[in-house]
Structure 1
Amino acid sequence: MEDSEKSSVPEHLEQYLGEIAHGWSGEDELQSIQVVCFNGKPQQGTTTYATLGLNDMILAMKGTRTIRQELVISACTSFPEKDIARFLLYCAEKIKKRGHALLRGEVVNMGYPLIEGATVTALYSTNPTPFDDGFSEFRNTTPPVIFVLLVPITDNEVSLINKYGWNWFEDMLETQDPDIWDLKRSHEIEYR
């Protein structure tokens, strides 16, 4: 199905991720951002969560460029869905308030474990490469909606990104291949 045949962001999400399993909304319904989840994507044993409604706002980029965005995160199915939805809503509201798009390589540092017992305390923004081609952009709006993958990372990984840059970090993600879906992972990216 081409973008021109898809009329909405939820249809785009369902084309690539399957049927929406269920969703959550923020405490203030007037804010209009929701989180929906999809089972078994990008692989068995994981759940993918995506914001809906952040794209209602046009976000600034460098210069005069603008885009619309939605946030995506995946985690092992063993983690509490409600807790993941809560911090994803928090991130979306933070981006909406600042009015600037989340850029590739940017870190959202929560300063505390994302869920109880987690080793990850921050989120790294990147392209959603674990998903099928075509997922990353919905072109039926002006400007288009870009889907940003948030990869949960540890305090040490935040320090490494600050020291060596996001290009180095993405190379290390591919080389060292940590289980980025495990919010309690013990294998961290190391300097090599």
Structure 2
Amino acid sequence: MVKYEIVRSRDLGEYLRTKILSLMNQRIREIALRYGYRSYMIVRYLDMLGSMDEVLKLLESFERPLKPVIRCNKLKVHDCRYLVNRLSKLGYTLERLEWEPTAYRVLREGSPSLGATHEFLLGFYYLYRGSASLLPPIILNPSPKDLVLDLAAAPGGKTTHMAQIMGNEGVIVAVDISRIRIRALRSNLERLGVRNTVILRMDGTK
């Protein structure tokens, strides 16, 4: 009798575990479909964050549109207030990021668009879709004596930022496999006045 109860208990536990996993997998599939992700990505976020509530918060944050960010190019602009003043005359309202004194969040856009102003064409700033791309160069903080390898470098946001941090000294080797993207990289390097960078078109994994 005791043995029979133990077997039933194990069967019940296995049944409940299977049922819970089935419901969890179903919810994962539903969430993946709702937000346009593959199920394995939801599972990965769940492993990292520990709860589905946190995963949903993360996915919701991805849905919010990012405000564009510009980085004042100190290789060409000595005082970023000069750039801010010029853009304000075009109707732009900028807010400086607390953790990066050369970067500004665009609160209100003016005219012409950020990618068509004289200031942009003169290389006075680099335009980002959001602020996250500013973090790697800041964390790396390369010195003017460093040799830096930048893989998948195009279109050049991080490359030009590192060149700015390095004061256009040292050497950056910018690698990208795409011929089309390298054109954008070369254009941005020239526009922002970067002189310490060598471009290589190759597969950075080899």
TM-score using structure 1 length? 0.28
TM-score using structure 2 length: 0.27
More strand by share: 1
More helix by share: 2
